[in-house]
Structure 1
Amino acid sequence: MSAFMTKTLKALGLAAVAATLAVSAPAMASGGAAHPHAPKEGFSFEGPFGTFDQGQLQRGYKVFREVCSNCHSATLLSFRNLGQKGGPFYDEKYKNPNDNPYVKQIASEFEVPDIDTDTGDAITRPASTSDHFPKKFANEYAARASNGGALPPDLSVITKARHGGARYIYSLLTGFKNPPKGLHVAEGQHYNPYMAGALATQWSGDPHHVPVGGVLAMAPPLKDDLVTYDDGTKATTHQMAADVAAFLEWAGDPHATLRKKTGVAVLIYLLLFAGLTYAAYRKVWHGKH
């Protein structure tokens, strides 16, 4: 085998390994926070061949709708995304998610702003499947006023914006603890070792052993049996945290499963092409050097 072909095959092999690691390896925590972790049963979507569990996505949407959306929005997500292939309410009978009656019902439960074409007045109307999830608050000032001065982040791509992705969401939701002795936490704030922060100015203990984590205005949002799952799953805090983390991971990239399948197919094609190229090389140049 020539040096050129050897280098080509090695490069393809390294590319395949790098792509696999890029998909499967969780992002590392930073900023002084504890390293986020997955629930003990793991997440089905992790890894290069992982896929989302539709039942878990449906449960996660329920937690988002009944708990998280009281303060947070997901304005980059359209209602029709819920009914697309791989989504929580996909039904193969409705190839077009806009025709999915369940998605239509979900959308109709929300009010979105619009304009009366006859009068020009601002109005609200029931959402349609083509609409995005509406904002929870009219503006930033209203959001802060309703949350003790804190601005709840939009959750559309929160798993892409935080180190650890779904693992971070799960760890944060289940990680609230009483602050260590010596850590001053202001009223209305809550200590969480998975929240990135700098606690040195609030720490009166050994300056060389400042606790990891940070404080946030959100109180622990989950408790056992806070929601009732339609499939009969026990709604423990850990179960709800895992389910909503999975839903938010899907919401941040609804086409993730398709992208993984495409990536694997491309890698297989490249490996086959490399083999054919080598075979052609052997056929054409055999015995000529």
Structure 2
Amino acid sequence: MVRFFGILIGLFFAGMLFYSFGRGAVEYISNPPVETVEHEFHKEAKEVSFKSDGPFGKFDKQQLQRGFQVFKEVCSACHSIRLVSFRNLEELGYNEDEVKAIAANWSIESPSIDPDTGEAATRPPIPADKFPKPFANDVAAGAANNNAIPPDLSLITKAREGGAAYVYSLVSGYSDPPANLPEANRPGTGLHYNPYFANLNLAMAPPLTGTDQVSYSDGTKATVPQMAEDVSAFLIWTAEPSLIKQKQTGWAVLAFLLIATILGFLSYKTIWADVKAEKKKKEA
């Protein structure tokens, strides 16, 4: 009896599943999705490769330092990397004194109150501190950015479809709206056209504007594509600083599994060779 009811319940759920699938298929065929203007003009992320790509990829510390320079001089006015500590920059090749000098360019809000002004006091950061936010809260951030709140960039290359290629395309992909773009989809006041953004218009002004915007200490020419690639590479690191170690660990695990498999196979052949020989003797 229990088995009978179990079968009935199973058939019921299977029937509901097929009914839902069939109904959805009929609905899709009878009312196919209509392509919107955003779909028509939206572009896929540009093809770009990074030195950290692939199973053998490695971080280029010089490029990461250039990317951090772009973030510091351009992006940090609006965006934060709140999951990164100043001392983490030592992984990019900066020494302790350089990290302290970098930290000195920021200020950290103290829980105490300045008795003279009544405002929150600040203190110089130490290497253990996280990078502070550029705005006190979301209200201040929205007020300074046409009511758009700039996202934290710590995990941006993992949080957006396309990853670093999306970031690269977005910051280097601003352009004038095409002539055939409907008026309703043209950027309004305070908005900027970017075909790599989901709805084509965003509040962030073009962050990278020209070759004189950043002066790289290693002599690399700071073109817009170069700066976009460098800052994207830096944001790959902020999102996954242990990426290279994970790859190295993966190769070590694969090597171990390969050796263990070979040893297991040889052990199998050795053990069963004696068993088979003994069996043949008995059969003879």
Matches within 5 A, 1:1-289: 32=39, 33-39=42-48, 42-83=49-90, 87-90=91-94, 100-116=96-112, 122-180=120-178, 181-183=180-182, 184-197=186-199, 214-224=200-210, 225-286=212-273, 288-289=275-276
Q: Distance in 2 between matches of 1:115 and 1:217?
A: 32
> Which is richer in helix?
2
Query: What letter corresponds to residue 109 of structure 1 in structure 2?
Result: N
CA RMSD of superposed structures (Å): 2.1
Amino acid at match of 2:215: T
Runs of 4 or more, structure 1, over 3 Å off, are none
Aligned residue identity for 2:139: Y
Q: Percent identity?
A: 49
Gaps of at least 5 residues in structure 1 are 1-30, 92-99, 198-213
C-alpha separation between the residues in 1 aligned to 2:172 and 2:80?
21
Q: Contact conserved, 1:57 with 1:247, CA < 8 A, in 2?
A: yes
> TM (normalized to structure 1)?
0.75
CA displacement, residues 228-286 of structure 1 (integer Å, 9 cap, x when unaligned): 01111101000000000000110111111111111111111111111111111111112
The alignment partner of 2:232 has SS state of helix
Cα displacement (A) at 1:131: 0.2
Question: Larger Cα Rg: Structure 1 or Structure 2?
Answer: 2
Counterpart amino acid of residue 238 in structure 2:
A
Specify whether residues 182 and 38 from structure 1 end up closer, same or farther in structure 2 by C-alpha distance, changes over 3 A only. closer
Which amino acid letter does the alignment assign opposite residue 76 of structure 1? L
The answer to whether the 8 A contact 1:89-1:102 is kept is no
